[in-house]
Chain A
Amino acid sequence: MSASGLVGGLKRGLDAPICLTWELTYACNLQCVHCLSSSGVRDPRELTTAEAKALIDELERMQVFYINIGGGEPMVRRDFFELIAYAIDHHVGVKFSTNGTFIDRAAARRLASMDYLDVQISIDGIDAPTNDAVRGQGSYAAARRAMDHLQNAGFGPFKISIVVTRHNVDQLDDFKALANSYGAQLRVTRLRPSGRGAESWHVLHPTADQQRQVYRWLLANGEDVLTGDSFFHLNALGEPLPGLNMCGAGRVVCLIDPIGEVYACPFVLHDQFRAGSVRDNGGFASVWRESELFVSLREPQSAGACASCGSYDACQGGCMAAKFFVGLPLDGPDPECVHGHGEELLASVDAARRPSAGPGHTKPVTLLRARPTAVTR
């Protein structure tokens, strides 16, 4: 079977996902402006430890080889270590994504002692000013402390994960050097207008020139750098980037949120892309295999407005989530279409008609207590 035959097979869906993201909690100590799950406060309906273990049992039966754990900040959960140990003991490898705040010396040693565990620390700038503008004050220092602890504990090659924005696109070489200095692997992914990103995307996403810069950089460094296949819309620029070049939503990937809701991918936490719940009768397996949404995503998709474009085979119309949250039709160009077709359309979208940002768990704004002011002097 040829590679394109393989992609055809993958698009028709699999018995179990290849890449499953499980957000363990909506609680987070940070409030990143681009958080795709609008995390902040814990949801009282979160899966219990027993429910989480039952889900891991089911993933083991389905032969899901590994899961990507995220949040929120997954280490906030009190049963975090219990759950990852349980998964690994049940042949479900764990890759987890963290802001690093809770990786102190003891936690780093504990993580280093576990097999089949990958850790990914997020930063979005090579220095505190660039990073903290997006992720919050002190977050850069916290992430670097975590990296130091992992290195000192002999964890081995952890991952450093960057979301590309217009403010850090010039730092890609520096990120690579930082990763190399730790013996770490660099992961670079695309900014999506999901969650709180629905607002911040419009001012943070790379400009058209910067997109070409990212493409050239990935072509030069791609084999060495993980991307989660997130830049396939750039393939319209020429030589394809490494990866499967397809949208995996509901076909090879999906998301389980902290309360057990199953969505088509980590970037579409919205009712329209909700396939069911692991708490439903048939459990996760029946949501994955039989839900109306996932079955429909595995049907051949229409190229729509992109059908007449010579690049459609290369870019596949781009990212469904990116289109959805900026209010573009799903069967048209990506907002970051390299030919500029998305930008043109975007200008005509009424901002008020964009979809809601999905289930929000953003912390309520804390009003500073008003200080009594001196009235007279």
Chain B
Amino acid sequence: MTIALDAPYAVDPRVAIRPEAFGALCYHYGNRRLTFLKSRDMVRVVQALAEHATAADALRACGIAEATWPRYADALASLQASEVIRER
């Protein structure tokens, strides 16, 4: 499961993000699901999505090494599946 890095995404408006030492907790007020963001880089990327034209732009802007982008694409896909982020 992966997402298209050339598409635009944003955090679902029903989701609240609470930063924590290990990353962040995301809570979806609609489906009541709690999701963990397991690194601070991941938190920055997720929060940057809405400000960039594509997911790839967000990764680049956050200084994420391109070699690791496939891992981020997988992680973003699972966040999309749990409705933390969505295509806009």
Q: Interface residues, chain A, CB within 8 Å of chain B?
A: 1, 5-6, 9-10, 12, 14-16, 18, 63, 65-66, 91, 93, 116, 118
Contacts and interface: CB of A to CB of B under 8 A. Distances in A.
Contact of B39 (A1, A16, A18, A116): A1
Nearest to A19: B34
Contact of A1 (B19, B22, B27, B34): B22
A9 B34 contact: no
A63 B15 CA distance: 12
Given A93-B32, A118-B32, A14 B38 contact: no
22 contacts: A1-B22, A1-B23, A1-B39, A5-B22, A6-B22, A6-B38, A9-B20, A9-B21, A10-B22, A14-B20, A14-B21, A15-B20, A18-B34, A63-B16, A65-B16, A65-B25, A65-B27, A65-B34, A66-B32, A91-B29, A93-B29, A118-B32
Nearest to B17: A63
B18 A1 contact: no
A85 to B, nearest CB: 16
B69 interface: no
A6 B42 CA distance: 14
A42 B38 CA distance: 43
Given A1-B23, A16-B18, A65-B18, A6 B36 contact: yes
Contacts of A118: 32
Nearest to B39: A1
Given A1-B39, A66-B27, A15 B18 contact: yes
Given A1-B23, A1-B38, A18-B25, A63 B32 contact: no
A66 B27 CA distance: 9
Contacts of A63: 16, 18
Interface of A is mostly: loop
Contacts of B27: 65-66, 93
Contacts of A18: 25, 34
B2 to A, nearest CB: 19
Contact of A5 (B18, B20, B34, B38): B38
Contacts of A65: 16, 18, 25, 27, 29, 34
B22 to A, nearest CB: 3
Given A6-B22, A65-B16, A65-B29, 6 more contacts: A9-B21, A10-B22, A63-B16, A63-B18, A65-B25, A65-B34
Contacts of A66: 27, 32
Q: Which 4 A-B pairs have the closest CB atoms?
A: A9-B22, A65-B27, A1-B38, A63-B18
Given A1-B39, A66-B27, A116-B29, A91 B16 contact: yes
B65 to A, nearest CB: 17
Contacts of A6: 22, 36, 38
A65 B16 CA distance: 8
A70 to B, nearest CB: 18
A66 B28 CA distance: 11
A307 B19 CA distance: 34
A18 B18 CA distance: 10
Nearest to A2: B38
A65 to B, nearest CB: 4
